Structure 1
């Protein structure tokens, strides 16, 4: 008997069909049907609803809370709503007749999927309610799920931290933290636990959904499997982005129906209640011993792209229609480098093969950039934030004189730059000889580009000389910041970049403007330059001014722009490795005032902004801005 039918049979064995009239329940059959149908939008199905009775000992966290009469637990009345779809698949929803609460959902006649419970409580017969705690209260975990994650919230000066309970012979790691797009009202942490098990490793994943403003959290069990290759799973089982404020697209590892090995499926997880909806089954196949090179969600959340590393398969999953397409050919990589460079909107990607080839979101080749005789930077193509352009840095020859470092790959000092449009055609280029300042030219990063839709024409006044409104509009249109310098070498030290001069180029007009150094207070409309490292560079395109926050030559002090920076403010973190401290600065652009928070509680790992008040790290520390 197939696993799916067996699990449904076990659940059905605990229910008794009755002829109790609808008036005996708290909600009517129409209300129960409406609740069930709300979970299958835009899917045609034939429905039928019936009332059942259920013994509460199988009802997860409500076991032990059921009413007792004459020493026996009373039977619960439950609406059973069954949907039969055009494909022949069926889904059965179980809804508490008194409260209208959705208890569980089982899928039948889909042997490769089996029982689907909400939220991913694969070992429970009914929905296990997520743990939800106030400050300082230890989590009890999701009842009915073996080995649930135990989490506690502890207050600290200037914030709070989440603590994972220690388990014998178990290693717990925060693999990922995702901040919801609704100004960080929810933060989702993916926690992996591994422990020795017969035949390999017990591999458990849990999701901790935190609401920082309320200092509360919920725990959602996500996977509990035994596997021999955890590395492959680590590259796949994660979140790929939010489709809206509450739903994140994830890949969930699941046991195969025949018990042999593991598989994967693409799901949508509701971070408010942990409910999971399957978007694509058996995607991707088990990659072991290969692993995922890259995976990304496009801007509107309709497609997920997955690219295996050595095999080079590229799958495109249609999350709206449910279809999956594997592109012809291979897009493989050579350790430790990646050869695929995708645009921020997820709708274009360059691939390095006999030069460089540009593909659209459907996998259609759009353009070819021939290979140069010299060396190129890694990554070879650097996209602008608006996905309108990509910059290619190169040297005139492959001489070692152009190499300034690197172990796994060569770090170069570029001599020229080409900027390519969204269609792959060159729109602007220059080399160090043309700028008459030093012998090197590199991309410092990009500004702007988020204010206009892709493909829109430049606004009026976007042409003219450097002092015209064309320069002032560079921030809104998207512009590249270039750095020209002289490379100085010495036997007893690393090469140095000296005499740096910065320029702003707007590819749409080709206008090049020299930038002048200034104080931060002199920048009326500062924009962060993305794509750089070390110090944070801020540019006022209209005034052709810039300032550097931090010291690019000091590797022990690094400054990182935090992702939730808004038009009204800039937020950055400066890490001092020598002092073991992190200083958070929130800069109000209108008032030109800054407030800083220094702490030794934050690590420098994966710092992110969570709403307007908190900065978080990979150690589950929530630091409140002062």
Structure 2
């Protein structure tokens, strides 16, 4: 259930219609064999100067707050993405990608900048990424953006360039930005393979592999997949096509980005595909998974397992959450698959009104999944799950062990957080700390979200939960090595925050560029 929530969030972001104008990068005739070229962009002050005549990138300011600071804009550019740049010494910089659109008489002006900040020192710079007059902001906004940090200094992104006078669609290039100097390197001057995509098409979420070796792009209606080699700029299209069903993106990508569970183009089966185009496994298609708007494949954090939740029958399952955009339905069957595609199924008795979902993963090898069981009576919308309990599933054997609540203090060094690879939107994730030795747990929140963190930020835990009675979101944090038990600091954020990230050892940052120091 949680994966579709994330899919919907990504869809809502990608479908915002946007546009902009700016400098044109000269295109090379042969993108596949072109060598990377280097461009230098000047670092900008807190009030950046215009990059071309009569075109300003607006103002970005750093404003002090009681608990830290925030980055504020004049509305020309608005926050869109957030990346942390992790180094061996810890996270050094945070990169915010901001986008802008301006309707024109003919076309739209669409652009992006990178705001780079070192939270501890307060050092702050902005760099232009791209700016173009284009005909189709629908496709551009879903593909021209950041894709992640190649290393502690370089942001990988796709830039869009002006459409020509004949009305052709805009072109795209793959580039990287040195966030410490502003130097830009063009990796693929023009992704010619995208020229055949219609102007009405947009792109399902693309991704960069964890190794930083490949960038994968995925068109929506046509279901085409391209893999771009970041080292040499080679672009190749996979022979397989994915199938998306409006309004869902139906590709489920492993955390390392190397494997994809997707619905085949003929709606007959699910396929586990690698980036060489090889089918590792196939599973018969379940119409309930799509019709139920909840069942899909979700991966463990290290990508060793994927779990697909499903229904044992085709009858309608109770709705446990519903808003204007989507609904989540209760499921009672789990299908567990390895990276090789080997699978097993576990069915739960629905006659007792019991349903199940994955609440998190544990263990060095993701060998445990925490399952949340609950009762739902009836099938009316927006029901709240009742009689909640948690079980521990040992994935190698399929063994189930009941977890018992523990209200007493637990030694911090024995606790593991039951983390999800991707959480649900809207702060709907149960947040648990589990002691694997005693099979006990502490429930920190019925509905919240953990702070995202890079691998070298392990000394703290932080989470948020909705606090409508306080008019915002409640932020909590505590030390991971705290042997006194679950003692925490709390702060009310006056915004409805849906996602937070660690920014080094001492900072939390929200998607709206608000920084909170954890003292």
TM-score scaled by structure 1? 0.69
Residues 180 and 603 (structure 1 numbering): CA distance in 2 closer, same or farther, change over 3 Å? Answer: farther
Structure 1: any 5+ residue segments left out of the alignment? 1-105, 120-127, 449-473, 553-557
Structure 2 residue 181 is matched with structure 1 residue 290: no
Structure-1 residue corresponding to 2:245: 334
Say which of 376, 392, 402 aligns to 1:514.
402
| Corresponding residue for residue 622 of structure 1 | 515
Q: Is the 8 A contact 2:507 2:518 kept in 1?
A: yes
CA contact (8 A) 2:293 2:328 kept: yes
Is the Cα contact below 8 Å between 1:377 and 1:394 reproduced in 2? no
Question: Greater Rg, structure 1 or structure 2?
Answer: 1
Does the 8 Å CA contact 1:343/1:387 hold for their aligned counterparts? yes
- What is the DSSP-based 3-state SS (H/G/I as helix, E as strand, rest coil) of the residue aligned with 1:231? helix
Q: Does 1:611 align with 2:504?
A: yes
Note if contact 2:368-2:393 (Cα within 8 Å) is conserved in structure 1.
yes
Shift of 1:490: 7.7
Q: Is the aligned partner of 1:416 residue 2:341? A: no
Correspondence list, 1:62-141, <5 A: 118-119=39-40, 128-133=41-46, 138-140=47-49
Aligned ranges for residues 29-40 of structure 1 at < 5 Å? Answer: none
Work out which of the residue numbers 295, 314, 321 in structure 2 matches 1:398: 314
Gaps of 5+ in 2: 1-24
Maintained 8 Å contact 2:28/2:189: no
Give the equivalent residue in structure 1 for 2:21.
Answer: none
- Structure 2 residue aligned with 1:251: 158
Verify the 8 A CA contact 1:237 1:251 in the aligned structure 2: yes
Residue 369 of structure 2 corresponds to residue 480 of structure 1: yes
CA-atom RMSD, angstroms?
A: 3.0
Counterparts of 2:370 and 2:148 in 1: how far apart (Å)?
Answer: 28
Contact conserved, 2:27 with 2:190, CA < 8 A, in 1?
no
- Give 1:542's aligned residue: 437
- Distance in 2 (CA, whole Å) between partners of 1:370 and 1:580 is 46
Output one character per residue of 1:140-181: Cα deviation in whole Å (capped at 9) or x when no partner.
466889423322222221211222235xxxx53211111112
Aligned residue number for residue 527 of structure 1 = 417
Q: In 2 relative to 1, CA 611–317 (structure 1 residues): closer, same or farther, beyond 3 Å?
A: same
Q: How far apart, in 2, do the equivalents of 1:544 and 1:115 lie?
A: 54
2:7: which partner in 1?
A: none
2:164 & 2:451 partners in 1: Cα distance? 43
Q: How many residues align?
A: 470
In the superposition, relative to structure 1, how do residues 534 and 111 fare at CA in structure 2: closer, same or farther (>3 Å)?
A: closer
Look up the match of 1:56: none
Counterpart contact for 1:615–1:623, Cα < 8 Å: yes
Q: CA deviation at 1:497?
A: 2.7
Q: Distance in 2 between matches of 1:398 and 1:547?
A: 36
Distance 2:72 2:318 in 1: 48
Q: In structure 2, what is the Cα distance between the partners aligned to 1:599 and 1:203? A: 35
Residue 248 of structure 1: CA displacement?
Answer: 1.9
The structure, 1 or 2, with the larger RCO (C-alpha pairs under 8 Å, 6+ apart) is: 2
- CA shift, 1:612, in A, is 2.0
The equivalent of 1:588 in structure 2 is: 479
- 1:242-281 pair list within 5 angstroms: 242-255=149-162, 260-281=168-189
The 10-residue stretch of structure 1 (603-612 or 232-241) with the greater mean CA deviation from structure 2: 603-612
Give the Cα–Cα distance (whole angstroms) in 2 for the partners of residues 549 and 365 of structure 1: 41
Structure 2 Cα separation of the partners of residues 130 and 431 of structure 1: 58
Q: Say yes or no: does 1:319 pair with 2:235.
A: no
Residues 351-409 of structure 1 show CA distances to partners (whole Å, capped at 9, x for unaligned) of: 12312111112121111111347546635111111111111111121212445454655
Cα gap change, 1:520/1:341 in structure 2, threshold over 3 Å: closer, same or farther?
farther
* Aligned residues of 2:133 and 2:163 also touching (Cα < 8 A): no
